[in-house]
Structures are given as structure tokens and as C-alpha cells.
Structure 1
Amino acid sequence: MPNARPAFPRPSVLALALVVVTGLSVHDADAAKKKKKAAEPALTACTDFYTFTNKDWLAANLLVDGSGQVSALGQLRDRSQQQQRDLLAAAMQSPQNNVQKLLGDFWASGLDVAAVEADGAQPIAPLLSRIDGIRRGKDIPPAIAALHQVGIPVLFQFTPDVDLANLERHIGYFTQGGLGLTDPTYYTRADADTQALLGRYKDYVQKILVLTGTPADKAAAQAQQVVDIETRIAQASKPMSLMRDPRNNYALVQSDTLGKSYRHLQLDDFLTAQGVKDDVVSLSNPALFAELDAMVDKIKPEQWKAYLRFQVGNAMAPYLSKSFRDADFEFRGRVLRGEATPPPRDQLVLDAINLAAGPMLAREYVARYLPSTTASRADTIAGEVRDALGRAVDRNTWMSEPTKAEAKAKLAKLKIEIGAPKRDLDYSVQPMGRGSFGGNMLIASTWRHREEMKRIGNANAGRRWDVLAQQPALAYDMAQNRLIVSAAVLQPPVLDMARNAASHYGSFGALVGHELGRSVDAKGKFIDAAGELKSWWTPADETAWGLRTAPLVAQYSAYPYPGLREVRVNGNQTQEENVADLVGVELAWDALVASQPELPKESKQGFFEGWAQLWPQQMSSDEATRRAAVDVHAPGQWRANGPLVNLPAFGEAYGCKAGTAMQAKPEQQVSIWR
């Protein structure tokens, strides 16, 4: 919980940079502009629909300092965060229910910087006192279990997740963790850069130890002891690349065998402390846990106390007094994340509340910011896009008949969830009050850990979302065969209730299609209609899919990367998302035509405008360079234009002739489902 500090999912969008040409005199610059203007064709929907549609936005959203990025979807994220601040401020002033009282007190305690400074390290004093009470090896496992209970996972991770053999059920997963650095290789590589980073990390460990009460003359030695423990953990851990595949984290063991298999680690007692009574858990790296068991037996308690003290200070540093926050930012902010300045105070507090009490805030956010008419509109369009995909499966000629049948069966079971997950949480949390932000962080994270542990052993996986309702998100949950649409995403530019109804299909509907296509495509093929992990495509389906999607690689590879000289979009790197964008527009258009067979020209154009208005963005050359190398999405200009080039309906709506920039010749058009 606190030390996880996850980067929550954000809409993945790129920004379009403005190129500033330097080195010309004013006269020469003006002449060059005139020459360029004369040489370029007039801007129309048929030359560059993205710029034609978004010209006002692009003019109004320049990069003031010439760095970073700004995008329409980024502005949506910023708006949702301001809505959360407004909600919390109202809850602080005049709470309307018990959950609002908790949230209002949490918010007030975080904004009261004077109280935070006066509080110092007091919020973690009981945890440190518990650690100081360790005398023998057998005292270490209970201390580890107690820290997990308050949301500070040390030595390893233990979390609920779906059982890969039964996707409706949650089980507990014992996985690797317990490191202050994010990757085990940081502890094991010998190159100069890694060693330099490790040296700076030791300095950070030393600072945190001093802040948690370690005498200054002993801090350096204890910091080395902490790093020694973490190095042993890292040496027994698997590479991060392997951990991205859920199957590599899955290996069922009987819970009642853990006490004998790892008797020094006392994993059976650990489960009892977390309130877990399930018969089985997953433990996929027994060699790691054997090493941890041996470490508990052999390493002296004093060294363990240093490790645990650091882990507590490290996890809670952002929520304590300035000396803790400064140490945390200097290493984690500047060194690891490359940030120049700490986040504003209200942003730090908002992130903390989302981390520790996100479901509480989600409930209040939905009640305040999601009108029933908006939710109903979203549900209707999503259902129509799902039906469009069903029709596409029926009429396509590249799928085999058995594969079509399985796809239709899967679509028949596909669920659409709008706004927030339908689940009941126990909101019985001890009163927070406004006196201690760090204390409130521990109260809230203890509550959230308790609620997470309740999932284990129950067939309730369908009640869980991996995102919060107040975070803009629209995603296909493959394990549960459902579309998740958060409350925060249902506002402009994704769903603007004040705009032409047809534009709702081009924006929200196309994003729904982008995600729902995954249910039956080359990704969705790995889970069948019954929810079992197995491929249901034939080799012929695989070949046909490859033939239909391959031309998009060449199409996007021909596009220049906005804001960069002599750099083009990587069509291979962005292929999967480019396919999904085309699928989304195809399905949303079909859904619109089915719902309104006699579409006027204005509605047809409104559909395509809705799509293009999702993607306006500006970004610096540095940001463009970074994204060109790693991002799996094409830049916004080509996310907007790329799919439309392949749709005859777009050419008809705007009178674009075949072979122009925005309308490929019929024989060159790529189609997936139309």
C-alpha cells in the first residue's frame, strides 16, 4: 500500500509538437513562411483531418515553456483530479455522510502542513517500537506480518488475484518483493552506472535510518546491512521480464504445508494474521522463499531491525515531516523519476488518498459527478457497439466457422460495467480526525489491506476493478470478459452530452470498439467463452489475421513523427494499437448506422469529428523523441487520421477522392471487420 506508490493507469496518448525554426532573420523567416504556404495544399478535411478539426484547440494549447506535453485526454485527467479536490474540500467543510467525514478529515490533515511538521515521525512510532522489541529470530515473522497488515509489505508481496484455473475466484499470491529499488538487477549488475546508483541508494537508506532513530554514528553500517539483506533477496528473485507473464507467478500449494516448508518464516501464521483461511495459495518461486526462510534463521535480529526500520521509513516518507519528504524526493523523485520539483502539496495528498482510500473516494465521486442520463447513454452505446461486433463476426469471411461460433458465444456473455464496480465494501474504519496525516494514512491503508484480503478464497473476482472510478479509464478486462468504463472518463472529449448525438459514437463508441475488439482478436483468443485459458483460433484464423493487419505496419511507418526531423512512426511498435483504433472506428460507425439508418450529412461528419477531437496534443521535441522510441501508440495526428484513410464512409462524408491524403484507393484500404 504506502510503499507500493503505483502510477495509476492514465489514458495513453501522445502529444503533437510544434517545430520552432531558428537561425533565420525575421525577413528570411517571413519569406520562408510565405514560400511554404504557397507550396502546401490548402488545409481541408481531405488533406489533414486532424489539424482541420482541431485547429482551434492546437492554437489555444501551445507549450508555454517549450517542454513536456499537453493533450485533450490529459486535460480530461486533470479535470477529474480537480473534481476530486473539489469533492474533498466540500467533504472537509460539510460532510454529508460518514464516508465523507472520513475523507474530509483525511484531506484536512494532509493540507495542514504545520500539523504534519509538528507530528514529525510520531505516526510511525508504534511501528518502530514494535520493531525495537524484536529480541530473537522467532520475533521477526510476526513483525513482518504486522507490517503487511498496515499496508507495508516487507520481505515479499502477498496480494489477491484471480486463480488462473478458475477466473471467477481470487487466491492469495506470494510473490517477490521487499526491495527498496524497483528491479533486482540494480543489486547484482557490476557496471559503473548501476554501482553509482547503488551508492546513492545507500546514502538514501542511511538518511531514512537516521530519521527513524538510528544513531548517526551507526547509520552507515546499518545502511550496508539493509542493502546486504536486499541484495540476498534480489539474488534469489526472478528477472522482471518473467514476472510480466501471470503464468510465471502461478503455482498452487496447499496452505497447510507452508508451516513445515518454511518453518522459520512462519507463513502459516502469516496467513492467519492476514485473516486468510483459503486452502490453497500461489507460491511460484519456492527457491526465493527457501532463501528467505534461511535468512530469518541465520541473520541476526539487529540486522533485521535495521531492515524493517528502513522499510517503514521508506514507505511512509512522503506522508511525514519535511525532512522525510526531502530525503524521499531527492532520491526517488530526482534520481529515479527524473523530476525537477516535488509535486504540489494538494497533489501529494490527493495521490495518498487514492492510494490508501481510493474506493471510499470512488463511491462519493460517482454520486457527485456521474448523472444517470450520462451513464444510461454510455450503456446504450456500448451495447450497440457490442452488437456491431457480433454482426461483424457473422459477416466476416476470414474466420473459420468454429471460431465464429466461439466468438459469438463469448460476446453473448460479455458484460458492460459503467461508472464503478458493483460491490459492497465494509466502510467500518476507525475515526481519523484531523490531527495526523501520517496516522490517517496508516488507518486507511490498514482498512484497504483488510478489504483486499477478504477477496481471497471467494468466487467474487467479477466484483473487482483494477482502476478507480475517479480515474479516467475504459478497458476490456480479459479475465472477466467485461468492458470497464469508469465514471471519470464519461465527460468531454470522450462523452460530451452537449454535442451532436452522432459524435458520441465517434468518440466514446470508437473507444469502446477499440477495447471490445480485443475480446475476439489475437489477444482474446487465449480465453474462451467458458473463461478457460486456451486458444480457440485455428491456424488458418491466425494466418488470416496476420494478412489483414500487416498492411497497417507499412501505412503508419510512412507517417513522419510530428515535431521530429527525419523520424517516422514505428509501424511495428505501434501495430497492435493501430489495429485496435481501426477496429474501434469500424465498429462504432456500424453501430451508429444501425441505430440511425438515415443519417444526415451533419451527423456523419459529427461522428468523425468526435473521433478526431480525442487526439489533439502538443509535445516538446524531447518528449517526442522519448515516445517515438518506446510508445506503443502512434502520435495523435495519426491516431486521428490513420483509421479514417481506410474508411469509405469518411470519404463520402467529406467528398474526399480516392488516392488523396485522407482516402486510400479502394484496393489499398485496410479493413478488419467491415
Structure 2
Amino acid sequence: MPLLRPLALSLALASVIAAPYADAAPKKKSSSKTPAVAPACSDFYATANAAWLKANPVPQSGATTALGQLAERAQQQQRDLLDAAMKAPQGNVQKLLGDFWASGLDEAAVEKDGSQPIAPLLSRIDAIKKAKDVPASIAALHQVGIPVAFNFSPDVDLKALDRHIGYFMQGGMGLPDPAFYTRTDADTVALMGRYRAYVKQILALTGTPAAQLDADTVSVIQIETLLAKAAKPVADVNNPFNNYAPVAVKDITKQYRNLQLGDFLKAQAVNDDLVSMADPGYFKQLDAMVASLKPEQWKAYLRWRVGDSMAPYLSKSFRDAEGGFRGRLLRGETLPPPRWQQVLDAINVAAGPMLGHEYVERYLTADNRRQAAVIADQIREAQVAALARTGWGNGPVVEEAKAKLQAMKIEIGAPRRDLDYSVQPMGRGSFGGNMLIASTWRHREEMKRIGKGNADRRWDVLPQQPALAYDIAQNRLIVTAAVLQPPVFGNGEPAAQYGAYGALVAREITRAIDAKGALVDAQGQLRSWWSPAEKTAWTELTNRIATQFNAYPYPGVPNTKVNGTLTAESNLADQVGVELAWQAFNAAQPNAPVASRQAFFNAWAGLWAQQVAPNEAVQRAATDIRAPGQWRVNGPLSNLPEFGATFQCKAGQPMQRTDAEQLKIWR
């Protein structure tokens, strides 16, 4: 039962190892006409990450990365926290989490519980007698975090980014793409056959009589097909501007009387006078279906949606059914994850902010939070200074950029506004029951985001997930608690803090004023504040960095080059990251010794250490919007004269492009 959000308005991640180089010892003169190139000046990525690459061989499948290892450590920390909360909880929130964790790990109890956790929901559905009873059941299921018939969730009002409104959007289908329901090719027909079998399996597990299974399965597929035919293509829905169509609540209440949307909003405790409904045709169809379809058909559909949504959290028969279809067929899983992983994922879905609250208390020190804030402010100052120094932009554009940077909020560790953790006791008797309690709580807190002044209530990432991101809608930098640990932060050597964490901050801060950031002004209004000159200059920079990366061979994929055009946006951000981080470091430590300067660059290199399986590398070469680790390190650094000076690289060597070739953004 994932919490759906219509607009994806930002995010990024991070992860580093620094091994300082000794000063190069004097070498004897070589008789060769072509002097040997020092390893650091030939392939800095391989040199700086030599120990990591040796310790982490190429995997059989997938990839091993420094970022992935950081995420694994954060996950283990969550597991340790939940174990401690289960044994000796400190406070009410830990008591809730400890009971939730214990109930999920007790597989015997989960098996004994069977379908009992969803019995009250099924009884509510069974009580439907007339068409007018259907909307109330839909609203009740939304309240517990099971979106049926459509999706409804908060997101930014694109005409007033400081507030959230509720978005009514298509949904309620069991397959990820509406096209599956109408295509007639052989593969889709085969998939639909498997899907019908899965629907029938879940209906049987929810207690549908055997004699009624075939008819109910037909009803489910019929309803979802009608919804699919009225739905927009996935590509259209993924465009946030296609989803925004503000309308008065009083108008949709009158227009869709059968759906009873006014009562729906009251059930979700939403009292705003404005919502977004970008696809009135879908809701017109749904409104008609409430009246035209028999209550028995709706009951079959709603039972199916409850069983399918809750299947991962119920007994083994439910989990096996869900894993057989969604796990193996749709997600490509060969084996289900271990039980602890399944329970942790469930807790993060239903009670993620609750776990985040405790994670911050346990793993983020006040000193680290303070240091992170200081460096972030220094990076922002470096960006502001670069605006004036480089001569970028005309007067009004520069002033707008400065104003936006100064207005940017920097939030470290967790969101500034905490949530209301008053939840009914969970106990250890029912994991499925606890899942519903927790998801009801989270839905309640999500709905509170709707209305004026509530847009900053939460992040789109959890504090326990390693992430460093710019939120364009709220003009804020988000630094999670989980990312503030080695290898990104806390490496001992202050210079490394700038080379890793500082560079990641810089690549996100600059997003406030790049081509996408220029679509939102300092007052939070959607408007393009660049002049044609800035747009032309940015296009030129994009083309130049695309040309640079197009020339790099793709590691592990013979006869293939990096797609410089596909990776250009990320490569530009990386270039800005090392430029601004170096400027902030140099301002903080203008007389830093060679070892410290080397530690700065080693830290950057360590962020992108990776070993990628051959099949994975082929897939990434075709689709990844980020360059391989080797070039995320070597590409930006080869444009930086300070790197060449630090490691005594000569112009024209692989790690030091000539001045004419160097790409310069904020220097």
C-alpha cells in the first residue's frame, strides 16, 4: 500500500574513502622520449579507489557501490534500533515500533492470524447493499491507506508553491499500466491470463465462495478495464503539469454526485476549498459506474483490492500468491527477501516517519548536525560569490539568483516540523493489524499537509534513508540523518568533509538556479526568470559537457561510449559540485597543506566507487542518466586546475585537460 504522490519535484543521493597520497619522491630521469604519467594523473578514480576496488570484486549480477554500502549500513542501523525498541523501548514511539517489529518477525503468529487482520474491512464491504453505499466504502479504505477506484494525495499547488492541495488522480487498477487492459499482443494476453488467475487466488483467500469465484473475477477485470479505458497513458500522468487542474470542492461535489466526493474529503479530514482534478473524464466514467454496476460487482472489486494491497503483510498463502505474480513476474524477483527485510520495508511504508524520528535521536549527533549546517552555509556563500565573480547573467537575473539562494532553507537530519505520534496501541498480536493501524496514522498525517502553510510538513525522503536533495517546490536543501556518516561525512580529515559532503551539497544547491531552478523564482512563483542569454549559455555548457563525456569508453562494455547527452545534467551538477566545494574549502583553509588538498579529491573519488556486473553495465550504458563512477570522478577533476596543481599533473595528461579544453561553470 505505497503512499502515492503525483508530482516528483526533486531528489538525489550520495556516498567515499580517502587515502592521502604521500608527496611524490624524486624520480630518476627516464631515457624514454615519453615520460611516464603518474597514476594519479592517468586515472585518478582507479588510483584513489584501489583498496576499495580490490576489496569489492565485480559481482555476478547487479552492482556493488559505495553509495549502496552506505544504504546497507543505514538499513542495519534501523534493524538495530528496532531490535533495541523490541527489547527495551525508550518512550511511546519506540514502544509502538518495537511491538510492530516483533509482530512482523513472529512468523508463527502471522501464519495463525491468517486473513483476520482484514476481516473488519471485508465485513464493511459485505455490508454494501445499494449503489449509494459504495462511495462510503471507498472513502473508508482510503482512510486506512488502501487507495481504491482512484488516488488522492497531497502535493504542491503549482500556482502557490507554499501550500499543498489534494490531487484526485486515476488509480485503482491492479496492473501498473492501463495499456495492459486493452492491448491484444500475445505477451499482454498471456500476462492478463496470469493476472486473472492471481485475482481469483486472492479472492479465494479473502473468503469468496468457490461457486462465486469465476463471476467475481470477471467483475474485477471488468471494473479495472473500464477504469483503464478512461485513464491517461502513464507518460502523461508522469508529467506533473498534466496533473494540475485546480477546481473548487463545491463544484466537484455537485458534478460527481454518485461518488460523493464532498463526503470523501470530510472522511479524510480535508477541509480545503480547492483540489486538483486534471482528468474529469476519468471521474465522470467512475461516477457513472457507481450507479450502473451492481453492488455485488463493487463488492468483488473492493474485496480484491483489500486482499491484494494487504497480501505482503498476511499469512504465507497470501505472500506466496503476491510473490508469484507481482514478485517474480512484475518485479523480477527470483527469491523473496528475508523476513526481516520484508518487515522493515513494511514499517518504512506505514510508519516511516515514526522510525525516522527515533533514527535521528539515536544516530545523529548535535555536533555533526552543526558541522553539516556550517559547511552547507559556506557552500551557499561560495555560490553567491561565484555569481558576481564569474560575470554570469545580467543584473536582474543575478539579483534573482542571489535572492533565491539567500531564501533557501537548509534542513538537516529531519523535517523541521514534527508529526503527531498519537496512535492506538499496536501490541504484538497481529502484524497485519499493526500495518493497518500504522498506515491509518500515516494517511492521517499526510492529509494534514493539505491547506495553506502546510507544504513543508514533511520531506519526500525519510531521515533514515541516505539522501541529499534539493526540493525545488519548497526551495530547500534536504540532508537526511542517514547520509551524515562515513563515507560521506565524518571522515576525520576536515578537507574530506568538503570533498565529499560539501561537493554533494554544492551539486544540489546549484539546482536552485540552473535551467530547472530558473522556472521558480525567489518568491516561490512558477515563472522563467532567465533571459535568453542565460538559456543560450546553459545550452552551450550542456553541449560541451556532452561532447566531453561522449568521448569516454563505457567501463565493462566493449565498443561502447558514455552517452554524454543522456548524462549531461548530472555531469554538469558534478562539475559544479567540485568547483564550489573547492572554493568553500579554500576559503575555510586557504593555506591547507598538500595532504589536506589531496584528501579533498580522494573524498570525491570515493563517493563514486563501484563494481558493476557485465549485464548490468550493458543496461546502464543504454539507460542510466548518470555516468559511470570512473568518469564521475575523472571527468570533473580533469577540468579543475587545482587538481592538477595538487597532484602535479601536466596539461594534456588524462587528468588535466588543457585550459582551452577545460569546462568552467562557476570559476
After TM superposition, the structure 1 stretch with the greater mean CA deviation from structure 2, 329-338 or 395-404, is: 395-404
Within a 5 Å distance, the mapping from 1:308-347 to structure 2 comes to 308-347=302-341
Conserved 8 A contact 1:398-1:544: no
Other-structure match for 2:432: 438
Indicate yes or no: 2:173 matched with 1:179: yes
Q: Give the secondary structure class of the aligned counterpart of 1:512.
A: helix
Q: Give the secondary structure class of the aligned counterpart of 2:39.
A: coil
Within a 5 Å distance, the mapping from 1:620-659 to structure 2 comes to 620-659=613-652
Other-structure match for 1:83: 77
Other-structure match for 2:27: none
Conserved 8 A contact 2:132-2:258: yes
Conserved 8 A contact 1:156-1:174: yes
Other-structure match for 2:29: none
Alpha-carbon distance, 1:258 to partner: 2.4
Q: Give the secondary structure class of the aligned counterpart of 1:153.
A: coil
Alpha-carbon distance, 1:12 to partner: 6.0
Q: Give deviations 1:554-604, integer Å, cap 9, x for gaps.
A: 111111111111111100110000000001111100100111111211111
Letter in 2 for 1:413: A
Other-structure match for 1:33: none
Alpha-carbon distance, 1:221 to partner: 2.8
Other-structure match for 1:24: none
Counterparts of 1:131 and 1:629 in 2: how far apart (Å)? Answer: 47
Indicate yes or no: 2:540 matched with 1:547: yes
User: For 1:593, which of 586, 599, 623 is the aligned residue?
Assistant: 586
Q: Give the secondary structure class of the aligned counterpart of 2:354.
A: helix
Within a 5 Å distance, the mapping from 1:470-549 to structure 2 comes to 470-495=464-489, 497-549=490-542
C-alpha RMSD of the superposition:
1.9
Counterparts of 1:73 and 1:555 in 2: how far apart (Å)? Answer: 25
Q: Give the secondary structure class of the aligned counterpart of 2:411.
A: strand
Other-structure match for 2:55: 60
Other-structure match for 2:142: 148
Decide whether aligned partners of structure 1 residues 12 and 560 sit closer, same or farther in structure 2, where only a CA change above 3 A counts: farther
Other-structure match for 1:461: 455
Letter in 2 for 1:343: P
Other-structure match for 2:185: 191
Other-structure match for 2:25: none
Counterparts of 1:13 and 1:453 in 2: how far apart (Å)? Answer: 30
Conserved 8 A contact 1:356-1:445: yes
Other-structure match for 2:600: 607
Q: Give deviations 1:87-119, integer Å, cap 9, x for gaps.
A: 000000000100000000000000000000000
TM-score normalized by structure 2? Answer: 0.95
Within a 5 Å distance, the mapping from 1:328-477 to structure 2 comes to 328-477=322-471
Counterparts of 1:145 and 1:343 in 2: how far apart (Å)? Answer: 33
Counterparts of 2:211 and 2:13 in 1: how far apart (Å)? Answer: 48
Letter in 1 for 2:187: D
Within a 5 Å distance, the mapping from 1:20-31 to structure 2 comes to none
Indicate yes or no: 2:104 matched with 1:110: yes
After TM superposition, the structure 1 stretch with the greater mean CA deviation from structure 2, 577-586 or 421-430, is: 421-430
Decide whether aligned partners of structure 1 residues 42 and 655 sit closer, same or farther in structure 2, where only a CA change above 3 A counts: closer
Other-structure match for 2:269: 275
Q: Give the secondary structure class of the aligned counterpart of 2:164.
A: strand
Decide whether aligned partners of structure 1 residues 673 and 494 sit closer, same or farther in structure 2, where only a CA change above 3 A counts: same
Q: Give deviations 1:361-412, integer Å, cap 9, x for gaps.
A: 0110000000111111111111100111001111223412221111011111
Counterparts of 1:51 and 1:424 in 2: how far apart (Å)? Answer: 43
Q: Which runs of 5+ in 2 are unaligned?
A: 17-33
Letter in 1 for 2:53: L
Q: Give deviations 1:52-87, integer Å, cap 9, x for gaps.
A: 0001100101145x2221111100000000000000
Alpha-carbon distance, 1:498 to partner: 3.8
Q: Give the secondary structure class of the aligned counterpart of 1:550.
A: helix
Counterparts of 1:333 and 1:664 in 2: how far apart (Å)? Answer: 48
Q: Give the secondary structure class of the aligned counterpart of 2:324.
A: helix
Indicate yes or no: 2:205 matched with 1:237: no
Q: Give deviations 1:127-181, integer Å, cap 9, x for gaps.
A: 0111111111011000000000100010001111111111111111111110111
Alpha-carbon distance, 1:625 to partner: 1.0
Counterparts of 2:546 and 2:15 in 1: how far apart (Å)? Answer: 18
Decide whether aligned partners of structure 1 residues 111 and 358 sit closer, same or farther in structure 2, where only a CA change above 3 A counts: same
Letter in 2 for 1:135: K
After TM superposition, the structure 1 stretch with the greater mean CA deviation from structure 2, 383-392 or 420-429, is: 420-429
After TM superposition, the structure 1 stretch with the greater mean CA deviation from structure 2, 256-265 or 375-384, is: 256-265
Letter in 2 for 1:606: A
Q: Give deviations 1:475-518, integer Å, cap 9, x for gaps.
A: 000011110000001111111x2431111111000001111111
Conserved 8 A contact 1:123-1:439: yes
Counterparts of 2:275 and 2:498 in 1: how far apart (Å)? Answer: 44
Letter in 2 for 1:176: Q
Other-structure match for 2:569: 576
Other-structure match for 1:29: none
After TM superposition, the structure 1 stretch with the greater mean CA deviation from structure 2, 421-430 or 531-540, is: 421-430
Q: Give deviations 1:330-385, integer Å, cap 9, x for gaps.
A: 11111001110001100000000011011110110000000111111111111100
Letter in 2 for 1:51: A
> Percent identity between the aligned chains?
62
Counterparts of 2:218 and 2:603 in 1: how far apart (Å)? Answer: 57
Counterparts of 1:622 and 1:175 in 2: how far apart (Å)? Answer: 37
Within a 5 Å distance, the mapping from 1:657-672 to structure 2 comes to 657-672=650-665
Conserved 8 A contact 2:199-2:217: yes
Other-structure match for 2:45: 50
Alpha-carbon distance, 1:216 to partner: 2.7
Alpha-carbon distance, 1:272 to partner: 1.0
Letter in 2 for 1:468: L
Letter in 2 for 1:216: A
Q: Give the secondary structure class of the aligned counterpart of 1:669.
A: coil
Counterparts of 1:428 and 1:3 in 2: how far apart (Å)? Answer: 20
Q: Give the secondary structure class of the aligned counterpart of 1:576.
A: helix
Within a 5 Å distance, the mapping from 1:252-291 to structure 2 comes to 252-291=246-285
Other-structure match for 1:21: none
Within a 5 Å distance, the mapping from 1:194-233 to structure 2 comes to 194-233=188-227
Letter in 2 for 1:587: L
Alpha-carbon distance, 1:246 to partner: 1.7
After TM superposition, the structure 1 stretch with the greater mean CA deviation from structure 2, 598-607 or 574-583, is: 598-607
Conserved 8 A contact 2:14-2:488: no
TM-score normalized by structure 1? Answer: 0.94
Letter in 1 for 2:543: A
Other-structure match for 2:287: 293
Conserved 8 A contact 2:15-2:483: no
Q: Give the secondary structure class of the aligned counterpart of 2:461.
A: coil
After TM superposition, the structure 1 stretch with the greater mean CA deviation from structure 2, 217-226 or 557-566, is: 217-226
Indicate yes or no: 2:573 matched with 1:565: no
Counterparts of 1:581 and 1:216 in 2: how far apart (Å)? Answer: 59
Counterparts of 1:236 and 1:563 in 2: how far apart (Å)? Answer: 45
Conserved 8 A contact 1:109-1:436: yes
Alignment length, in residue pairs? 648
Q: Which runs of 5+ in 1 are unaligned?
A: 16-38
Counterparts of 1:480 and 1:289 in 2: how far apart (Å)? Answer: 30
Conserved 8 A contact 2:360-2:414: yes
Counterparts of 1:349 and 1:511 in 2: how far apart (Å)? Answer: 31
Q: Give the secondary structure class of the aligned counterpart of 1:599.
A: coil
Decide whether aligned partners of structure 1 residues 143 and 123 sit closer, same or farther in structure 2, where only a CA change above 3 A counts: same
Indicate yes or no: 2:90 matched with 1:96: yes
Letter in 2 for 1:96: Q
